[in-house]
Amino acid sequence: MISIFPIIHIRRGIISILFMVCSLGTLYSQKFQQVPSGAIPIAISPRVGTQMDSIDIRYYRLFYFLKDVKSAASYQYNFDSILFLVKRIAQPDTVIAHPIGLFSKYLSYYIENIERIADESVYTNISTAVLGDIAHVEDYEDRSYEEVRITITKRDASEIIGTILLITNDAIFISQRKGQYDWKNVKSELIRIPFGDIDKIEGTNVRHFGGNKQLIVNTLESYYNADKSTSYFVTWTQRPLPTEIRQLVNSKEYKESEYKDSLPIESLRRSKPSQNNFRVGIGLGFQLSNLFNLHVRDWNNQGFGEVNSVGNSLQFPTELILDYTVLKDRTEDKWSISAHVTCLTNFIPTAANSWIGGKAGLKGEYVFNPIDRIFTTGKQYGFFIGVDYFGAMYSGNAKRVQGSRELPLDDNEQPVSINASALLLIAGISSKYQFSDKWSLDFQLSANYPLNRYVDGVQKLTWGIYGRNFYKSINLTVQDYAVTIGATLSYSI
């Protein structure tokens, strides 16, 4: 006889499972107006505990589908469910339910590692299918983690090197820990530097801060914009801050600045080094109109084929420059008088001719908008006038271009050298781009007017046979004016 008891137990098991499924379906489809009795508070992560305020919710990108969220509290219900009581401004409370298993695991991991969510090793451990109903995970590509190193020199000449953690309205927090952001050890090896203690920040264009708060804030806002970084936090943007960082902002355990005053802007301007009188540089120019023309003439006594050519032999003047500031406006930096000497050549590596020479002269310059002494970088515009003495030697090869049956061309070349000099009046406009206290790039457009000039006489070559002669003459001419555009990379000593 077959027992019916196993069949009865199987039926009861199936009915029980169906009942549980229906119960869970009823639970997660309900829209609770309040937390059911029997629900107990539960921490979804040690980082946030059982309560999250509106800033936490924005930082972790939770409940993105609800507007005007004020806070959220988490509860455990029936050992298998997690409930969120979401309070909103001027709207009814909302209770959101989820199964506690995988959801709780993924949500806790997401909250504790959100700063590194762009890392594949972190993102692949988060299920967007499970968390997608509550957390905006898919925009992880907007987040990037990159440690930003900083070197700060304090007004007592001590130096602090580390990674930026937090910038507030009155101090900067530097972490000297190795590795990525760790919310559990945020205070470990942390140094708070009040703005009043700061004299220099390496990598910025401010020469000295002298504890000037407004100058420091403006510089930090310019150089350390945290819009796309989660490696450090700032308080002046609208971006939310996690709880552990807000606790640092409001902490009273750190000392304030030892200095009761800061240097005013005018005092900082006067602190600029004033002895950068020497400059060395390399310049490359291009002649828009010629200063020297090379005239070459070929003819013969046979009555045929005279050839004339005229061209610029100094197209790309290249100079090695040493400049010394003789006089300078030390109050506003608007005018200066300088002396210079240069070595000169012609920058055409494949050319059949070359120049070797130099210049010496004086130049006066007036600047319309001097670079602010507070900063090590900037740009300025001005005009200049001066005199240069130019002396150089032209070297080239004279090649036979005519011949006869008795004297065929043999590609014979003979060297030719011509000395030239001129006293030039120079005037033009300038634009200076300063990269640091030492380096700058200057652009100039100048007109050159010879006040006096000298060139060697005509160089003449003759060849021939049986009374059939051929001739070549080479000479330089100095034009009445020339226009040159150039750029000079300079280093101040």
Output 441 or 37, whichever has higher pLDDT.
441
pLDDT digits (tens, 9 = 90+) for 237-284: 888 999 999 999 988 888 888 888 898 988 888 776 656 789 999 999
Q: Please choose, from the candidates 211, 339, 337, 324, the residue with its C-alpha nearest in 3D space to the C-alpha of residue 271.
A: 211
Q: Please choose, from the candidates 321, 315, 443, 320, the residue with its C-alpha nearest in 3D space to the C-alpha of residue 379.
A: 443
**Tokens for 223?**
């150089």
Is the pLDDT score of 371 beyond 70?
Answer: yes
Percent of the chain as helix, strand, coil, to the nearest 5: 20, 45, 35
Output 26 or 258, whichever has higher pLDDT.
258
Share of the chain above pLDDT 90, in %: 46
- pLDDT recorded at residue 275: 63
Q: Please choose, from the candidates 361, 284, 352, 269, the residue with its C-alpha nearest in 3D space to the C-alpha of residue 318.
A: 284
The CB-based long-range contact list for 270-273 (8 Å cut-off, 24+ gap) reads 270/373, 271/207, 271/208, 271/210, 271/373, 272/207, 272/373, 272/374, 273/437
Is the pLDDT score of 25 beyond 70?
Answer: no
The b/e string for 273-283 (b: 16+ C-beta within 10 A; e otherwise) is eeeeeebebeb
The one-letter amino acid at 262: S
Counting DSSP H helices and E strands in the chain, the numbers are 8, 23
* Residue 440, strand partner residues: 434, 490
Q: Please choose, from the candidates 300, 296, 298, 297, the residue with its C-alpha nearest in 3D space to the C-alpha of residue 465.
A: 300
Is the pLDDT score of 167 beyond 90?
Answer: yes
Is the pLDDT score of 229 beyond 90?
Answer: no
CATH code for the part of the protein at 272-492: 2.40.160
Share of the chain above pLDDT 70, in %: 89
Output 349 or 149, whichever has higher pLDDT.
149
Q: Domain locations in the chain?
A: 1-27, 31-142, 151-268, 272-492
Spatial separation of the C-alpha atoms in residues 181 and 176, rounded to whole Å: 11
